[in-house]
Amino acid sequence: MRVTIVTFRDIFQSEVQEVDRFGEDYRRMSAVVFLDKSDAAKAGIKDGSNVLVESDNGRVVVVARISDDAHPGLAFMPNSPWSNRLVPAETDDTRIPSYKSISATVSVTDDKVPTVEDLLRELVS
């Protein structure tokens, strides 16, 4: 399923990050993608399924959450090490990467959601 990902800041996720950014609570609140109900149904994605999200910049496994609000074609992810894997390195005149319009595909996977440590290891290898 093709979507445009919009990243956002979440006060509760930010609070948990301050306590333990390597902990399970932070991963549970951060390694997620919120999908439109009809988009998810068409793609066979259920709430709580692990999904592979791929953009031209990278790929990451996160947990799918089905949104009650209708937003066909759009998916939302909290700003986090997981969503950062998808952000293009190129910048525009503002010199800020495009966090609000990431073209990506989402598909069900049996792969596990990586920890922050896993993501860091991949960056340095």
CATH number of 29's domain: 2.40.40.20
Structural domain for 24, as ranges: 2-124
Structural domains counted in the chain: 1
pLDDT in tens, the chain (125 residues): 999 999 998 766 666 666 667 778 889 989 999 999 999 999 999 999 999 999 999 999 999 999 999 999 999 999 999 999 998 766 566 655 566 789 999 999 999 999 999 999 988 87
* Amino acid at residue number 34: F
Task: Please list, in sequence order, all residues whose beta carbon lies within 8 angstroms of the beta carbon of residue 21, skipping any fewer than 6 positions away.
Answer: 116
Q: What's the rounded Cα separation, in Å, for the pair 78 and 81?
A: 9
**Pair of tokens at residue 120:** 């860091």
**Pair of tokens at residue 46:** 């259920």
Number of Cα atoms under 13 Å in the Cβ half of residue 33: 38
The strand pair at 74-78 and 2-8 is best described as parallel
